[in-house]
Structure 1
Amino acid sequence: MPKNPNNQSKPVKGTETMNGAMKLFLAGLVAELYLLIIRRFYVTGTAVQMIAWFDYLVYLAAAGGVVFLAGLALAAAWRKDKKKRTIAWYITGAGAFLGGASGLIRLFNAPALSLLTVVVFLVMLLGILWQLYDRECAYALTILGLSLVVLWVCRKELSNMYLGVYVRVLAVAYILVLAVITLLARRADQKDGMLGSLRVLPASADVLPVYVACALSAAAMVIALISATAAYYAMWGLGLVVFALAVYYTVKQL
C-alpha cells in the first residue's frame, strides 16, 4: 500500500475528453455501417432483398423503440450510479437511432437514407469537436454543420412540387432561429457567459465565431431560397468555412 495515497496519479482531463471523442467516433462508425447495410440490401439490392428488408425495417424500428424505452427505464433505475446511468443513456441513444432511422427509411426510402448518412457524420464530427475544443468554437461549428444539412435539403427538395413549400418554410424558420441564437449569444456575452442561472459560455469566451457562423448561415439560406443551384455553391462555401475554422482552433488548441 502506498505511503501517501494522495500522490497516486489521477486521470487527466485531456484523457477523459479523448476517450469521449473515441466513443463518439466508434458510435458514428457503427451507425454509418448500419446505414450502409440498409443501402446495400434495401436501396440497391435485388427485388427479393428489397421486399424482405421492407418488412425487416418495421421489426427493426419496433426493436429500436423497445431498446429506447428499456434505456430510459434503466436510466431512471440507475440515476444514483453515474457509471451505470451513463451506460443506460448509451442504450437509450442506440435505441433511438435504431428505431428512428429504420422508421424514417421505411417511410421515405432513399432520400431519408441519404439525409441520415450526412446527419450521422455531422453529429459524430460535431460531438468530437464538443469534446475537444472550446465552447464558442463548438457552438459555431454546430451552427455551420446544421446549416449545411438544411442547405442540402434545400438543394434537393426546393424544386419538388410536393415538398418545396415545406422546405421554404423550414428555411425561413431556420433563419429566424439563427437570429434568436445571435441575440442569446449577445446576451450571454454581456452577462459573462450566463443565460439566467445557466452558464453557456466561459466568462472569457470570444463570441465572434458564433456571430460569424450565424451571419454566414443566414446569408447562405437566403441564397438557397433564391436559387437551388446557388445553394450548391453556398454549401461549398460553408464547408470551406467549417474546415478553416476547425484548422484554426486545432492549431490554437495545440
Structure 2
Amino acid sequence: MAKNPNSRPRPAKREEPMNGAMKFFLAGCVAELYLLIIRRFYINGTGKQVVAWDSYLIGLAWAGVAVAAIGAVLSFLWRADQKKRKIGWVILGAGVFLAAVSAVVRINLSVLTLLYVAVPVVMLLGILWSLYDRECAVALTILGVSLLAMWVLRREVTSIYTGTYFKALTVVYLLVIAAAAFVAHKAMAAGGKLGKLQLLPSGADPLPIYVACGLSAAAVVTVLINSLVSYYAMWILAGVIFALAVYYTVKQL
C-alpha cells in the first residue's frame, strides 16, 4: 500500500535561520571572552602581566590587520561562490574586530566598558535578523541601537567638557530616527523597494518600524530633559524590547 505523501517528514523551514543565529551567538561569546581576557590580564592583572599585555595588544592588533587582509583577498577571490564568499567575510570581520579592539583598548581603557555592552547587543541583533521577519528585525534593531545610544549619551551629556557636543549628537540621532521612519514609509509605498534596493518584503507591515521609531525618539528626548528621567526611560525601553522579542518569537513559532 502506497504511503501518504503528506505523511513524509518535511525539512525544517527554519533550519538555515537557526544556523545563522547560532553562528552569531558563538561569535558573540568568543568576542566577549576576548574582552574578559583583556580585563583580567591588562586591567586587573599584576604589574608584569600588564606590561606583557601592553606588548601583546600591539601584536594582536597587527595580527588582526593581517587576518582582515586575508579575509578581504579571499572574499574577492571567492566572489562567485556565495558560501565561500561568506567564509571570507567572516575572516575579514574577525580580523577587523581583533585589530580594532586591541588598538582602541590600548589607547583608551574606558572603551572596554562600552564594548562589554556593544558586543552582546550586536550579537542579539544578529540573532534577531537571522530568526525574525525583516520588519520585526528592523524594529528591534532601531530599539536596540537607541538603547545603546541612550546609555552613551546620558553619561556624557551632563559633562562640562563634552556636554554640548553630545547634546548636538542627541539631536542628530533624533533626526536619524525620523529619517528611518521616512525611508520605511517611502519604501513601503514602492513595494518595499528604495530605488533598486529591496529594503522590506512586499506587503510587509511597517507599523512595528513606526512604533519603534516613535518610542525611540520619545526615550532619547529624555536625555535632553533630565538624567534621572532618561535612566528610567532606558529601563522602560529595555522592557519594551524584551516584550517585543518574546512576542515575535512566539509569533514565529
How far apart, CA to CA, are the structure 2 residues paired with 1:50 and 1:81? 44
How far apart, CA to CA, are the structure 2 residues paired with 1:247 and 1:11? 25
Report how far residue 97 of structure 1 moved: 0.6
TM-score, scaled to structure 1: 0.91
Report how far residue 142 of structure 1 moved: 0.4
Deviations 1:193-248 (A, max 9, x none): 11112111112211111111111111111101222232211110110010111111
Where does residue 4 of structure 1 map in the other structure? none
How far apart, CA to CA, are the structure 2 residues paired with 1:105 and 1:159? 24
Where does residue 3 of structure 1 map in the other structure? none
5+ residue gaps, structure 2: 1-8
Amino acid in the other structure paired with 2:69: L
Does the Cα contact within 8 Å between 1:153 and 1:167 map onto a contact in 2? no
Where does residue 63 of structure 1 map in the other structure? 63
Amino acid in the other structure paired with 1:72: A
How far apart, CA to CA, are the structure 1 residues paired with 2:182 and 2:242? 25
- Describe the SS at the equivalent of 1:206: coil
How far apart, CA to CA, are the structure 1 residues paired with 2:17 and 2:214? 30
Where does residue 6 of structure 2 map in the other structure? none
1:98-117 paired onto structure 2 within 5 Å: 98-109=98-109, 111-117=110-116
Does the Cα contact within 8 Å between 1:155 and 1:229 map onto a contact in 2? no
Report how far residue 166 of structure 1 moved: 2.9
Amino acid in the other structure paired with 2:34: Y
1:161-200 paired onto structure 2 within 5 Å: 161-200=160-199
1:14-25 paired onto structure 2 within 5 Å: 14-25=14-25
Where does residue 96 of structure 1 map in the other structure? 96
How far apart, CA to CA, are the structure 2 residues paired with 1:155 and 1:15? 40
Report how far residue 160 of structure 1 moved: 2.8
Deviations 1:33-56 (A, max 9, x none): 000101111122223322222222
Percent identity (aligned):
57
- Describe the SS at the equivalent of 2:14: helix
Where does residue 201 of structure 1 map in the other structure? 200
Task: Say if 1:235 and 1:30 are closer, same or farther in 2 by CA, change over 3 A.
Answer: same
1:1-16 paired onto structure 2 within 5 Å: 12-16=12-16
Amino acid in the other structure paired with 1:141: L
Does the Cα contact within 8 Å between 1:151 and 1:224 map onto a contact in 2? yes
- Describe the SS at the equivalent of 1:202: coil
Task: Say if 1:28 and 1:219 are closer, same or farther in 2 by CA, change over 3 A.
Answer: same
TM-score, scaled to structure 2: 0.92
1:100-249 paired onto structure 2 within 5 Å: 100-109=100-109, 111-249=110-248
Task: Say if 1:105 and 1:163 are closer, same or farther in 2 by CA, change over 3 A.
Answer: farther
How far apart, CA to CA, are the structure 2 residues paired with 1:235 and 1:228? 10
How far apart, CA to CA, are the structure 2 residues paired with 1:11 and 1:19? 14
How far apart, CA to CA, are the structure 2 residues paired with 1:112 and 1:17? 32
Amino acid in the other structure paired with 2:229: A
Task: Say if 1:251 and 1:158 are closer, same or farther in 2 by CA, change over 3 A.
Answer: same
Amino acid in the other structure paired with 2:183: L
How far apart, CA to CA, are the structure 1 residues paired with 2:240 and 2:139? 10
Report how far residue 12 of structure 1 moved: 4.7
How far apart, CA to CA, are the structure 2 residues paired with 1:75 and 1:171? 37
Task: Say if 1:102 and 1:202 are closer, same or farther in 2 by CA, change over 3 A.
Answer: same
Does the Cα contact within 8 Å between 1:144 and 1:242 map onto a contact in 2? yes
How far apart, CA to CA, are the structure 2 residues paired with 1:190 and 1:82? 31
How far apart, CA to CA, are the structure 2 residues paired with 1:93 and 1:13? 28
